[in-house]
Amino acid sequence: MIYALIGHRGVGKSSLLKRLESYGAQTFDLDDEIAKSQGKTVSEIFSSFGEKEFRKLESEIFQQISTQHNTSDVFISVGAGFEGPWPTGVQKIWVRRKTDGQGRIFLNRPRLNPDLTPLEEFKLRQEQRDVRFQAWADQHYFLPEGLPVDQGAEKL
């Protein structure tokens, strides 16, 4: 089964993915896989090709991973702007935090709306993406703020 971790930028999808890997799960961070395939960072890809081309690469690489690893359980973390399409049978887990609506900004990540402040950009995209995540989500996983040492329930 392919499990896709979806959610807002900075919610903790990549950290969750690393923990899942430490529990023995097979994992892929889509941004890392895209960077490897192009020999460039995600920021460099955005600068060179723009968002539209990046979204195309996202979809292509996701499809490749899904096809190559469809016989075992695999977790794939996708970027907040991932647009699909989803292969049949992919379970989408919306990784969330109670603080999602407060906004998260990252000055070291590609800016998609440079005419807006980083917080305005987040708020604009957050509203649009919430609608998409809600429509896609097969499951919701609320991450706690801060991480307790014992994550036994998460491992299950």
**pLDDT tens column, 29-68:** 999 999 999 999 988 998 899 889 999 999 999 999 999 9
Q: Which long-range contacts (CB under 8 A, 24 or more apart) does 54-58 make?
A: 55/81, 55/82, 55/83, 58/30, 58/34, 58/82, 58/83
Judge contact between 97 and 29, C-beta under 8 A. Answer: no
Give 153's pLDDT tier (boundaries 50, 70, 90): low
What is the rounded CA–CA span in Å between residue 55 and residue 113?
15
Q: Is 1 exposed, middle or buried (0-12, 13-18, 19+ CB in 10 A)?
A: exposed
Average pLDDT score over the chain:
88
**pLDDT tens column, 90-119:** 999 999 988 787 777 766 777 777 888 888
Residues for the chain: how many in total? 156
Give how far Cα 45 sits from Cα of 25, 96, 107, 108, Å: 29, 27, 17, 14
